[in-house]
Structure 1
């Protein structure tokens, strides 16, 4: 088999993966970050990463994947959003399952509402924009229904 990369001979039991978010914070990341990729290329990168990760961990290693739905909510009224116009939890779950990672827990992790100041809230109300202040923590293992 393929040699696993280790740190001092130890292979992790839990990998916490919090990748750069698609588009949302692209300006805050390096120019070569996956955050600036197209939707298709971003999802293809994640798929390749999950395959590579699986090849380099123990069968019992679990992963906590942290991410959020991406929608162009700052510019698009909720009523105008389209199916597959963003990247939602089901897109991540489809890729994870396809690459042999199976979720056991989906945790909705709330975040501070501080970023929604009065001006932001007022603009969102005027445009009928639906905002979200949370992240998903998807806990996964490599054993499906076996």
Structure 2
């Protein structure tokens, strides 16, 4: 047992690690973060730390919140239920975690995960030109004005 969450995408990555090591590459399972998505009539997706976990770990945090109806795509599709929230390290501007509740959240969380994996500051997602109208475009708005709490 690799000690990872029991997700299909975790098993697939375990396989890639084993295959790489058999081919002579040095790859480990350490420091991986797995997104999780619950598929409902709209998605509940999460990556990284929650606000409470970040505070318990000693981070000073900034929070970004966005009601889904603010995202243009949600109005186009008339799927306006939900809320997005992200936790940002106030000292480094790095994204510590995000929880997205709403349409296509399982798809959008991959963009947040990529930014986290690359160590990008939240401002990268705030300032990145994203296709209009998409749900991912909501990341520009989510990260527009994080607050200290």
Is the shorter-chain TM-score for this pair beyond 0.5, marking a shared fold?
no
TM-score by length of 2: 0.28
Who wins on radius of gyration, i.e. which is larger? 1
| Structure that is richer in strand per residue | 2
Bigger relative contact order, structure 1 or 2 (CA pairs below 8 A, ≥6 apart):
1
| Structure that is richer in helix per residue | 2
TM-score by length of 1: 0.29
